[in-house]
Amino acid sequence: MTVDVAVVGGGVIGFAVAWRCAQRGLSVTVFDHQPAAPEQRASQVAAGMLGPVSEAYFGEADLTALLVASAAQWAGFATELAPFGDVGYRTDGTLVVALTADDHAEAARLWTYQESLGLPMTVLGAAALREREPALHPRVRGGALAGDYQADPRRLLRALRAAAAAAGVRVVDRRLSAPELSELDAATVVVAAGCGSAALTGLPVRPVKGQVLRLRAPDGEPGFRHVIRGWADGRRVYLVPRTAGSGGEVVVGATEEELTDAVPTAGATLELLRAAVDLVPSVAEHAVAELCVGHRPGTPDNAPILGRLSDRLVVATGHYRHGILLAPVTADTIAELVATGETPELIAPFTPARFRAGGDGARS
Ligand code: GLY
């Protein structure tokens, strides 16, 4: 059957794009091959931090602008999805903390930069931090409150699937190869296949292994309410407390390894837990519920690849550390591109052309 849009990839990005396309009256099929280990899908492993402020890094001005734009859409996105499920959107804010003087010196450079961009970021001393979040270790030297939020990626994927189904999106369980893309009976093919996008398009998307733990509090309450991101004796870690009703889940992450295997290692688990307990001692009492390994779809410039690759082929991939945050803006802009043929201004810096012959592969 001919459809307007075939979306290849059934993660958060794929279903968000499919949903928005269907809302514009387009007929849509998602090709959602279930991996052998579905729990390793990036959307299942992701912690769900929505961090345009704390992930604003030197030299990534275009990306920061995109993260900020998508963060601004998140409240509406969560509300629109609410009939299909609570996506765990929480606005308690993020505390970015430093344990030692050396950690503080490193972190402070970044906070100064983030403040200079006018992002919502307030530097706090140790006493103010602990007043805001008593669960923090008394040794924590200082930190900052960032206007960064969170959502629960697993709930989000369920809600998006339901919303897409309600909008008429069909789902086919089939893994496609690159030659099969050209045989699809669709006016437009959108590749949103995360790490699988490289083999389908030839674009430079590589897997970046992330090991993540899911802990559960014995009394069903995480014991703290902010997302906590920190430096602890040179180790980086984040702790994401879920809402009441989640069984007291705390997500602790994550490694960043240029590896393709999916093996959780003792060393990584030790380092993550040591850093987490150094910052929030009470998590030492939590049960270890899951060790998850996923692969972020990384790109040479850490930014996503969004736009037209050929007359019929559009890509929405390479979201690296930001897939959950960037879901709303990706879905809206890709649906607009598919429906109108025009590339929205916001995603112009992220076109695949930057990685094709003649593209210089570099952005400001
Ligand atoms: N966004 C968090 C991570 O990639 O680990």
Give the pLDDT of residue 38: 66
> Looking at the DSSP assignment, which residues form a beta bridge with residue 145?
95, 122
- Quick one: fold of 3-50+153-203+300-354? FAD/NAD(P)-binding domain (3.50.50)
Confidence (pTM) = 0.95
Query: Cα 207 to chain center, whole Å?
Result: 14
Question: What is the per-residue pLDDT across 161-176, written as a single tens digit (0 to 9) for each?
Answer: 999 999 999 999 998 9
- Cβ(210) – ligand 1 distance below 6 Å: yes
Question: What is the per-residue pLDDT across 302-358, written as a single tens digit (0 to 9) for each?
Answer: 999 999 999 999 999 999 999 999 999 999 999 999 999 999 999 999 999 999 754
Q: Is the peptide bond before 127 cis (omega within 30 degrees of 0)?
A: no
Find the angle CA(238)-CA(240)-CA(246) to the nearest 5 degrees. 155
Instruction: Using the predicted structure, report yes or no on whether residue 362 has a pLDDT greater than 50.
Output: no
CATH for the 94-146+208-298 domain, from 3.30.9.10, 3.10.129.10, 3.40.50.11540, 3.90.45.10? 3.30.9.10
Give the pLDDT of residue 43: 85
Report CA(232)–ligand 1 centroid distance (Å): 17
**3-29: average pLDDT:** 97
Report CA(187)–ligand 1 centroid distance (Å): 34
Look at residue 292 and give its three-state secondary structure. strand
Backbone angles phi, psi at 215, to 5 degrees: -105, 160
Confidence of residue 150 (pLDDT cuts 50, 70, 90): very high
- Cβ(321) – ligand 1 distance below 6 Å: yes
Question: What is the per-residue pLDDT across 194-251, written as a single tens digit (0 to 9) for each?
Answer: 999 999 999 999 999 999 999 999 888 899 999 999 999 999 999 999 976 778 999 9
- Cβ(253) – ligand 1 distance below 6 Å: yes
Q: Is the CB of residue 88 less than 8 Å from the CB of residue 70? A: no
The ranges assigned to domains in the chain are 3-50+153-203+300-354, 94-146+208-298
Give the pLDDT of residue 360: 41
Give the pLDDT of residue 240: 98
Q: d(Cα 162, Cα 171) in Å, to the nearest integer?
A: 11
- Cβ(298) – ligand 1 distance below 6 Å: no
Q: d(Cα 137, Cα 168) in Å, to the nearest integer?
A: 50
Q: d(Cα 263, Cα 182) in Å, to the nearest integer?
A: 35
Shortest-distance atom of ligand 1 to CA 324: 1
Confidence of residue 361 (pLDDT cuts 50, 70, 90): very low
Average pLDDT, the chain: 94
Which one-letter DSSP state was computed for residue 213?
Answer: E
Question: What is the per-residue pLDDT across 21-74, written as a single tens digit (0 to 9) for each?
Answer: 999 999 999 999 876 666 678 888 999 999 999 999 999 999 999 999 999 999
Distances (CA, A) of 6 to 170, 176, 190, 277, 336: 10, 11, 6, 45, 15
Q: Are strands 49-50 and 149-150 parallel, antiparallel or unpaired?
A: antiparallel
User: Considering only CA atoms, which residue is closest to atom 2 of ligand 1?
Assistant: 321
